[in-house]
């Protein structure tokens, strides 16, 4: 395990160097958050029957701010470094390590998602909590369940982003998938519009897909809209874990095929 955790640690060290990027990201996310809160504000106040909306306004505001704070955990793009590595043949050095290639990439994905998010989310929680209506979790169990679900979501997100990276073993450029994946992840996870506000006919689909567990479920547990009881949390956790396992397995299978046909580019 040590080699993998070392990889994680180093990526952390490297990514934490980019303080300016984190500050700029923080400003962007604050700005976006404000706009989104205002848009929903307009919808809510224009709605003739406010009671019928399946999510109250306070919950919605928390949902939006959580989304802004934890945006970086979403697998909505191919890691830049990964792309470069596959395009230029840096993969060669990955293969020279006495480690499983899939888990090298997986741990790298975890680090790439976690490090910058940690750096940005803490100040964002503070600012949004003090000034813009982000409420603390409704109860201690809600806090624990939210944290747990966020960790599970992270593990699933990384399995998903690995799958995308591995697809580059065939496409090499990754241009297509990196345009296709973000809107899908955005829409189906609830990052764009909270899923309870989506039409009823879409709910079965949204429930089956893995994306809901990335955003919607943990956020609603946080704000108490999904009660933090075992009855609710366990099925959600199982759903996430099952999808993680499926993504992980298919990623590994794909990688095995990919390695057989791999051509490391360049002399």
Partner 1 sequence: MAHIEVENLRRTFQIAVRNPGLSGAIRGVFRRQSEEKVALDCISFQVEKGELCGFIGPNGAGKSTTIKILSGILVPTSGRCEVAGLTPWKHRIKHVQHIGAVFGQRTQLWWDLPVTDSFDLLRDIYSVPQEVYKQRRDNLIDILDLTSFLATPVRQLSLGQRMRCDIAAALLHGPSLLFLDEPTIGLDAVSKLAVRSFVRQINQDLGVTVILTTHDMDDIEALCRRILVVSDGRILVDGSFEDLRRRASAGRRLTIDMVKAATLDLNGLPGVQITTTNAGRCVLSFDPIVITPAELIREVTARVEVADLFVENAPIEEIIANLYAGGSQ
Binding residues for partner 1 (CB under 8 A): 2-3, 5-7, 10, 13-14, 17, 88-90, 92-93, 95-100, 259-260, 262-264, 266-267
- For partner 1, the closer CB: 17 or 139: 17
User: Closest approach of Cβ 94 to partner 1, in Å?
Assistant: 9
User: Closest approach of Cβ 1 to partner 1, in Å?
Assistant: 10
- Is the Cβ–Cβ distance between 133 and 68 less than 8 Å? no
Helices (H), 132-174: 140-171
- Kindly report the number of other CB atoms within 10 A of residue 218's CB atom: 26
User: Closest approach of Cβ 9 to partner 1, in Å?
Assistant: 8
- Two structure tokens written together for 251: 């990623």
Q: First CA to last CA across the chain, in angstroms?
A: 33
User: Closest approach of Cβ 201 to partner 1, in Å?
Assistant: 40
Residue with tokens 């040590």: 2
- For partner 1, the closer CB: 13 or 230: 13
- For partner 1, the closer CB: 89 or 129: 89
- Is the Cβ–Cβ distance between 29 and 68 less than 8 Å? yes
- For partner 1, the closer CB: 227 or 258: 258
Q: Quick one: DSSP state of residue 200?
A: G
User: Closest approach of Cβ 88 to partner 1, in Å?
Assistant: 7
CA distance 39 to 34: 9
179 — alpha (psi -120 to 50), left (phi > 0) or beta? alpha
- For partner 1, the closer CB: 90 or 133: 90
Length of the chain: 267
User: Closest approach of Cβ 14 to partner 1, in Å?
Assistant: 4
Q: Quick one: DSSP state of residue 190?
A: T
Separation of CA 260 from chain center: 30
User: Closest approach of Cβ 185 to partner 1, in Å?
Assistant: 27
- For partner 1, the closer CB: 90 or 123: 90
- For partner 1, the closer CB: 111 or 233: 111
- Is the Cβ–Cβ distance between 62 and 128 less than 8 Å? no
């Amino acid at each position: 395990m040590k080699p993998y955790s070392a990889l994680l640690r180093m990526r952390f060290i490297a990514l934490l160097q980019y303080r300016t990027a984190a500050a700029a990201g923080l400003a962007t996310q604050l700005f976006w958050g404000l706009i989104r809160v205002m848009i929903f504000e307009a919808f809510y106040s224009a709605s003739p029957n406010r009671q019928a909306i399946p999510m109250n306004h306070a919950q919605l505001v928390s949902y939006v701010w959580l989304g802004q704070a934890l945006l970086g955990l979403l697998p909505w793009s191919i890691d830049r470094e990964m792309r470069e590595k596959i395009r230029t043949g840096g993969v060669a050095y990955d293969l020279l390590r006495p480690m499983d290639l899939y888990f090298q990439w997986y741990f790298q994905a975890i680090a790439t998602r976690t490090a910058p998010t940690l750096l940005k989310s803490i100040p964002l929680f503070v600012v949004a909590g003090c000034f813009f209506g982000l409420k603390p979790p409704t109860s201690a169990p809600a806090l624990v369940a939210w944290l747990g679900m966020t960790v599970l979501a992270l593990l699933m997100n990384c399995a998903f982003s690995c799958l995308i990276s591995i697809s580059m073993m065939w496409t090499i450029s990754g241009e297509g998938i990196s345009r296709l994946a973000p809107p899908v992840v955005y829409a189906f996870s609830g990052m764009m519009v909270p899923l309870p506000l989506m039409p009823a006919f879409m709910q079965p689909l949204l429930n089956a897909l893995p994306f809901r567990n990335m955003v919607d479920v943990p956020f609603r547990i946080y704000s108490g809209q999904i009660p933090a009881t075992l009855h609710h949390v366990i099925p959600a956790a199982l759903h996430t874990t099952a999808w993680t396992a499926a993504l992980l397995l298919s990623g590994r299978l794909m990688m095995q095929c990919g390695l057989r046909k791999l051509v490391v580019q360049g002399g």
